Amino acid sequence: MFADEDHPNSILDRMYDALRLATWGRIEDLETFFIVVDKQTWASERLSFIELWMYYEYYGDYYSVDIEPCYSGDETWNAFIGPHLRAKITTFMKYYQHPILYVNVWNHAIGEEDNNPSIAKTKHDTWLNYTTGSRMDAENDYNTQYLWVEEGIYESP
């Protein structure tokens, strides 16, 4: 969960915040990817950036939403529209058993390489302070507008 997606253009950012508030009931950004681990050693083997299908109830009607993957590819921080790419990543740096990832684009698209080497970094050891649950659990924890009722995962080719 990120506090906000701040578009580099301040006018577009205000419009984008209004759109996010109307669509998601929040301006915070929630991104999902999967760390596939070896069942014997629990070592991280692969990162999977795939889309999710989720459903929500709004005044008794049900709607589906395709939540796009959050892989950055080779895009950088100032990309006009941040990418949402599908990917399976098998080569990445690790800190002990934990993958090292970079938020490469203003919309929190994530990658295994630093696409912005000239920008100062902030380190977050998220594996030290984590919660367990599904994307649906996180949506229900942070969303004020809808009740998420189920989810589906579609594997990347």
Sequential pLDDT tens for the chain (157 residues): 788 888 888 999 999 899 888 877 788 888 888 888 888 988 889 999 988 887 777 777 877 778 889 999 999 998 888 888 999 999 999 988 889 999 999 989 999 999 999 999 888 887 777 777 777 788 778 776 666 666 555 554 4
Give 13's contacts (C-beta < 8 A, 6+ positions apart): 6, 7
By three-state DSSP, how is residue 18 classified?
helix
Confirm if 50 and 151 have CB atoms less than 8 A apart: no
Q: To the nearest 10°, the Cα dihedral for 56, 3, 68, 152?
A: -40
Confirm if 111 and 73 have CB atoms less than 8 A apart: yes
Domain ranges of the chain: 33-153
